[in-house]
A = this chain, B = another copy of it.
Amino acid sequence: MTIRDWTVAGWLGTPRPDFAVGDLADRVVLAAAFQMLCPGCVETTIPQLRRAAATFPADQVAVVGLHTVFEHHEAMTPVALQAFLHEYRVTFPVAMDQPARRGQVPVTMERFAMQGTPTVMLYDRAGALRRRTFGHVPDLELGAQVAALVLEDGPTAAPPVAHDVRPSRAYACDETGCRV
């Protein structure tokens, strides 16, 4: 299974109107299937994708959402999703999974045999699905998984995170007490 097996009805929040799955080529892709009325997705997955988009260089890691509506179809319409993305200030691209001709589960969700939302997926640079998790993946583990895929091309690959040995903003107390 590759990311080219996605069948989507359209995209929101993309840099160009004609954005397509092919535009993700040559990058590691961190994707999450979600529903806008899934509380766990809203509370945990959307903020995690936002953090990921801010952490990893965009030319190495693409962060995208996949809206996979399999219940309450009359509530989670494209226009509702657009309002949701606006209010939650989502700035990464979101694809709308193609509704099924019959049945509740949309096409891509069915094809990838997802068990529900959220489902976190990692694709390598060739587009192959490498990890898929139903539920939440903690940040520490997800960060390691993303880096492992970014570095797969071996020692010539750039490091996945730009920062290096550096002083950083002090945490909480250290302005008064914990700074030497």
Residues of A within 8 A of B (CB): 35, 37-44, 48, 51-52, 55-56, 70-72, 74-77, 79-80, 82-84, 86-89, 104-105, 109, 114-118, 129-148, 150-152, 154-155, 159-161, 163-174, 176-180
Contacts and interface: CB of A to CB of B under 8 A. Distances in A.
Contacts of A52: 140
B179 A115 contact: yes
B70 A180 contact: yes
A134 B165 CA distance: 9
Counted per complex, copies of this chain come to: 4
Contact of A180 (B51, B105, B143, B176): B105
Given A38-B178, A171-B135, A140 B83 contact: no
Contacts of A135: 168-171, 174
A176 to B, nearest CB: 8
A147 B147 CA distance: 6
Contacts of A115: 167, 170, 179-180
Nearest to A168: B135
Contact of A75 (B35, B84, B129): B84
A157 to B, nearest CB: 9
